[in-house]
Chains A and B, each alone.
Chain A
Amino acid sequence: MVGDTSAKAIRVVGLSKRYGGVAAVDDLSFEVRAGAVTGFLGPNGAGKTTTLRILLGLARPTAGDATIFGQPFAALADPARTVGASLEISGLHPGRSGRNHLRSLAVLAGLPASRVDEVLKLVEMTGAANRRAGKYSMGMRQRLALAATLLGDPKLLVLDEPGNGLDPQGIRWLRDFLRAIAAEGRTVLISSHVLSEVAQTVDDVIVIHHGRLVDEGPVDRLSGPQRVSVRSPRLADLAAAIERAGAQVSRGEEGVLIVSGLSAAQVGDLAFSAGLPLHELAPHAASLEEVFLQMTSDEPVGEHSPDALPPGAA
């Protein structure tokens, strides 16, 4: 069972994949905890799909290993009941109905035909299931791909950009859907190039860029140190009081201090005990998106000198 949360559902060690001169994945190592929802993040071309394809035995690595519950995918005794996976571009014959597509997979996995109707219901695709897949919208294809991943009722789901092509309702539906899946104690690895799409759903994140690991850990850690903005008519006194308490202050806009190192409550208490009036007090977390962009920006690599750009050109 997935109860043992210390167990590793996925382990990737020293994984590399080269396509000609391009290192799509470059000495990548990470682990995915069983029972957690992990976001696999990185900008376009970071190597997410390539990593997942290797993990699922669809592509051969140039070097390194990727295992699922301790075994390479090809060695799993019953893949369909262990891992449900959907790739970026789901394979569908345009002339075959969604239901028949799922039926062929159910037969292949030795699952009863009734399971097809169950998963179609789960993804709310029962109505369109008998239409030819060539006529499906992007969102319908994504739902059908999700349905396929659920056929074997697997304990691990690997989803490559399942939100691609979904409209805002679809994204919300997907989020609720993933929450429900996770609540059942399943392990989910979900890739995305948009952090906000998965930030509310995931427990952990793995961030890669240029095929390399950039960060790995609980999602709350990724949000960075919290800052607090305060507005007060006695700004200088307040700044001095905060600095005496060992926190850092910087000037924000006119009449505003940005405090780091103290929570909003601590700043409020401090001002109260110093007898200083506060007109505004707001916790101000750096958005995940900001942190993510910072981590995966190319600037530190210095491919082109920032001096070459006029100020504010970015």
Chain B
Amino acid sequence: MSRVLRSELLKLRTTRTALGFAVAGVLLVLLFVLVGVLAGNPRTIADKRAILSIGDPLAVVLLLFGVVGATAEYRHRTVAAGALVVPSRLRLSIGRMVAYGLAGVAVGALMLVVAFAIGIPLLAGKSGPALVGSDYVRAIGGSLLACGLAAMLGVAVGVLIANQVAAVVGTLVFLFVADPLIVAASADVGKFLFGSALMAVGGRGNGGHRLAFGPAVAVIIAWTVLALAVAGWVDKRRDIA
């Protein structure tokens, strides 16, 4: 496995895809923090913590990062090159997932630096109770976890669907159409969807109908494992070129 992981990490470093998503992430975080502080006027601890919990908006970017990265292997036919060296496609997919998970955490860490660098000085000027150490730990841990898990889930979805355009469109439709519709129809069901669970882990905590942090992490891991199991089964039977 370590060979697969090292090879995947090398591949991640040698295209501009990761860089592109990191830049998109920085822009999104800047926007999120600035709009949140300047327009949102946060007063409570929960409001302020939400500003720094950038895992919520970022998880979507990292989910797409995983989807794009995994489907690029099919699009550019590099899956075959790998399979000629390591015939087990499941091993390759798992290695890829772990590599993207690590990359997701790394991108998340970079974004947290950006968010904290602007957010903390801006929040210091706001009235109401100040954030304490545990709030920061929660924001950091939740964001990193959400970013890593989202990238891994993205890889599993990418391996499952393989077609890049279909996978990206499908993911967006699921997150921004299906997920809200299901949540609206039944919040008790909706909170178990990965979109909501990612927000619960990376974002505004368990307000309203969200799962608590621990269960939300478990739900995302369950989705990821399920997606990987189905993807592995499909991928094994798939003809690749």
CB of B14 within 8 A of CB of A100, answer yes
CB of A91 within 8 A of CB of B72, answer no
* Best-buried of B11, B17, B85 by chain A (most CB within 10 Å): B85
The verdict on A58 contacting B14 (CB below 8 Å), with A76-B87, A79-B85, A91-B80 known, is no
Report the minimum CB–CB distance from A113 to chain B (whole Å). Answer: 10
Report the minimum CB–CB distance from A100 to chain B (whole Å). Answer: 4
B34-90 at interface with A (beta carbon < 8 Å): 72, 76-88
CB of A148 within 8 A of CB of B81, answer yes
Q: Which of A81-89, A192-200, A287-295, A303-311 contacts B (4 or more CB under 8 A)?
A: A81-89
A312 interfacial contact with B, CB 8 Å: no
The verdict on A85 contacting B241 (CB below 8 Å), with A94-B76, A95-B16 known, is no
Residues of A in contact (CB 8 Å), total 34
Q: Which of A35-43, A102-110, A204-212 contacts B (4 or more CB under 8 A)?
A: A102-110
A83 to B84, CA, bound (A): 8
A78-128 at interface with B (beta carbon < 8 Å): 79-80, 83, 85, 87, 89-97, 100-101, 103-105, 107-110
Residues of chain B with a CB closer than 8 A to A80's CB = 84-85
Interface string of B1-40 (1 = CB under 8 A from A): 0011011001100111100000000000000000000000
A152 to B85, CA, bound (A): 9
Q: Identify which of A58, A74, A92, A107 contacts B10 (C-beta below 8 A).
A: A107
A87 to B240, CA, bound (A): 11
* A110 nearest CB neighbor, chain B only: B3
Residues of chain A with a CB closer than 8 A to B80's CB = 58, 87, 91
* Best-buried of A80, A87, A92, A93 by chain B (most CB within 10 Å): A93
Q: Identify which of B11, B83, B84, B85 contacts A96 (C-beta below 8 A).
A: B11
CB of B76 within 8 A of CB of A93, answer yes
The verdict on A93 contacting B15 (CB below 8 Å), with A53-B239, A58-B239, A108-B3 known, is yes
Report the minimum CB–CB distance from A88 to chain B (whole Å). Answer: 8
* A84 nearest CB neighbor, chain B only: B84
Residues of chain A with a CB closer than 8 A to B10's CB = 100, 103-104, 107
Residues of chain A with a CB closer than 8 A to B14's CB = 96-97, 100, 103-104
A242 interfacial contact with B, CB 8 Å: no
Residues of chain A with a CB closer than 8 A to B6's CB = 107
A46 interfacial contact with B, CB 8 Å: no
CB of B83 within 8 A of CB of A57, answer yes
* B8 nearest CB neighbor, chain A only: A104
Residues of chain A with a CB closer than 8 A to B237's CB = 60
A28 interfacial contact with B, CB 8 Å: no
A80 to B87, CA, bound (A): 10
Report the minimum CB–CB distance from A114 to chain B (whole Å). Answer: 16
CB of A104 within 8 A of CB of B241, answer no
Residues of chain A with a CB closer than 8 A to B11's CB = 93, 96, 100, 104
The verdict on A91 contacting B15 (CB below 8 Å), with A58-B241, A107-B3 known, is no
* B10 nearest CB neighbor, chain A only: A104
CB of A95 within 8 A of CB of B87, answer no
CB of B76 within 8 A of CB of A92, answer yes
A59 interfacial contact with B, CB 8 Å: yes
B200-241 at interface with A (beta carbon < 8 Å): 237, 239-241
The verdict on A95 contacting B15 (CB below 8 Å), with A79-B86, A79-B87, A80-B85 known, is yes
Residues of chain B with a CB closer than 8 A to A85's CB = 84
Interface string of A58-86 (1 = CB under 8 A from B): 11100000000000011010011001010
A148 to B82, CA, bound (A): 11
A264 interfacial contact with B, CB 8 Å: no
CB of A105 within 8 A of CB of B85, answer yes
Residues of chain B with a CB closer than 8 A to A76's CB = 87
A83 to B76, CA, bound (A): 22
11 contacting pairs across A/B (C-beta < 8 A): A58-B240, A85-B84, A87-B241, A91-B77, A91-B79, A92-B76, A92-B78, A96-B14, A100-B10, A104-B7, A108-B7
Question: Other than the known A92-B78, A97-B14, A148-B81, what 14 A-B pairs have Cβ atoms closer than 8 Å?
Answer: A73-B87, A79-B85, A79-B87, A85-B84, A93-B11, A93-B76, A96-B14, A96-B15, A100-B10, A103-B14, A104-B7, A104-B14, A105-B85, A108-B82
